[in-house]
């Protein structure tokens, strides 16, 4: 039974979801929802019963001390609500948790029950995948939907994927069958530096979310973190000539593929983002945008952005052999170039 005592009447609510696990390469998607929750001071109003959906031998509970009293935090999915500021007021229902171990249909029905009771107008599910994309270029983010009308209205790709899927794909299809407009946003994370965090991919997802729901998201320290992350990976890749050559080959392939994107429409989108942020916010071309990143030289190096990179990142693995297909363990089923989600 869904109980919503204490939740005020919401204004034009949109539900934003992200789940740790298979659909969260580099923790980019879950970090994006966590950023929204942190910046707008979200208040948790509901949590799903952990015993219904999780195998505790896979996702173990944690014990912690609260004033000398031992407490247990159970892995689950929590819902919070935030009121977005910086324009016309709008509420976001944030769903953040772990991909469930079982009862996926019941899980999705419970999420949809909250969406119905709260009057949610659209569900946006964030995901990130491993792909053949260079860390030195803007992060590719694709928007996917199963609704042909929504695809035309919001300039999204209509999903045509067939194959294994994760909770992102299952939840989107559940929304479609329930008549709830739903969109998946997928960020491509370089497979050769897949360990979390990846603030550049997180920022790219938030930028794309801004465009989708016409809402300005406070970026906080994410732009600086994204630059520092790129510089750190630059330094690690430079230590291995084979990795450096592999990254260069990815850059050449990406630049060739992106030539058609230097269109009036792409430039106009980036200029619109600049206008929205000109009053004290970062300008165009932040990491994850379309234009080149400001403050970085062509090689992505600028000492003014250098921060302590001793954050647990490991040396990038050697590139895969040329006869491999490029798929990486743990990557979702979408194309390795990050252009299509399972949606």
Cis peptide before 101 (omega within 30 of 0): no
**The predicted structure's pLDDT at residue 3:** 61
- Percent of the chain at pLDDT above 70? 73
Does a structural domain hold residue 270?
no
Does a structural domain hold residue 147?
yes
CATH of the domain at 18: 3.40.50.10900
**The predicted structure's pLDDT at residue 277:** 59
Contact by Cβ (8 Å): 333, 161: yes
Does a structural domain hold residue 292?
no
The pLDDT tens digits for 161-184 are: 888 899 999 999 999 999 999 999
The pLDDT tens digits for 4-22 are: 667 778 999 999 999 999 9
Cα 266 from Cα 268, distance rounded (Å): 5
Does a structural domain hold residue 303?
no
Query: Which pTM value belongs to this model?
Result: 0.74
Long-range CB contacts (within 8 A, 24+) of 302-309 = 302/227, 302/231, 305/224, 305/227, 305/228, 305/231, 306/228, 306/231, 307/224, 307/228, 307/231, 307/232, 309/228, 309/231, 309/232, 309/235
Segments forming the whole domain that contains residue 130: 14-265
Does a structural domain hold residue 102?
yes
Does a structural domain hold residue 206?
yes
The pLDDT tens digits for 131-152 are: 998 998 999 999 999 988 889 9
Confidence of residue 278 (pLDDT cuts 50, 70, 90): low
- Count structural domains, the chain: 1
Does a structural domain hold residue 313?
no
The pLDDT tens digits for 200-228 are: 999 999 999 999 998 889 999 999 999 99
Does a structural domain hold residue 310?
no
**The predicted structure's pLDDT at residue 126:** 98
The pLDDT tens digits for 282-332 are: 433 333 333 333 333 333 333 222 233 333 333 344 444 444 333 444 444
């Amino acid at each position: 039974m869904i109980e919503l005592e204490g939740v005020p009447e919401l204004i034009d609510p949109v539900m934003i979801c992200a789940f740790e696990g298979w659909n969260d390469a580099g923790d980019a998607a879950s970090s994006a929802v966590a950023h929204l929750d942190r910046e707008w001071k979200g208040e948790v109003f509901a949590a799903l019963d952990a015993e219904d959906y999780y195998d505790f031998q896979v996702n173990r509970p944690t014990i912690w001390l609260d004033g000398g009293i031992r407490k247990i935090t159970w892995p689950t999915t929590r819902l919070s609500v935030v009121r977005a500021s910086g324009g016309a007021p709008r509420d976001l229902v944030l769903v953040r948790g772990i991909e469930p171990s079982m009862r996926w249909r019941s899980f999705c029905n419970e999420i949809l029950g909250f969406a119905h009771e709260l009057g949610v107008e659209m569900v946006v599910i964030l995901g990130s995948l491993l792909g053949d994309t260079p860390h030195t270029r803007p992060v590719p983010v694709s928007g996917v939907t199963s609704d042909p009308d929504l695809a035309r209205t919001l300039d999204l790709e209509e999903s045509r994927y067939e194959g294994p899927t994760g909770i992102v794909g299952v939840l989107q299809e559940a929304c479609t069958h329930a008549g709830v407009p739903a969109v998946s946003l997928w960020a491509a994370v370089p497979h050769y530096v897949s360990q979390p965090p990846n603030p550049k991919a997180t920022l790219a997802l938030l930028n794309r979310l801004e465009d989708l729901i016409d809402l300005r998201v406070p970026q906080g320290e994410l732009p600086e973190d994204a630059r520092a992350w790129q510089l750190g990976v630059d330094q690690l890749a430079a230590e291995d000539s084979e990795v450096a050559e592999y990254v260069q080959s990815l850059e050449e392939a990406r630049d060739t593929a992106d030539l058609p994107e230097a269109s009036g429409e792409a430039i106009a989108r980036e200029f619109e983002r600049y206008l929205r942020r000109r009053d004290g916010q970062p300008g165009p071309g932040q990491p994850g945008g379309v234009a080149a990143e400001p403050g970085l030289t062509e090689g992505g190096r600028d000492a003014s952005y250098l921060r302590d990179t001793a954050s647990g990142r490991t040396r990038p693995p050697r590139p895969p052999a040329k006869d491999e297909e490029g798929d990486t363990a743990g990557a979702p089923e979408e194309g390795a170039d990050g252009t299509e989600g399972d949606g």
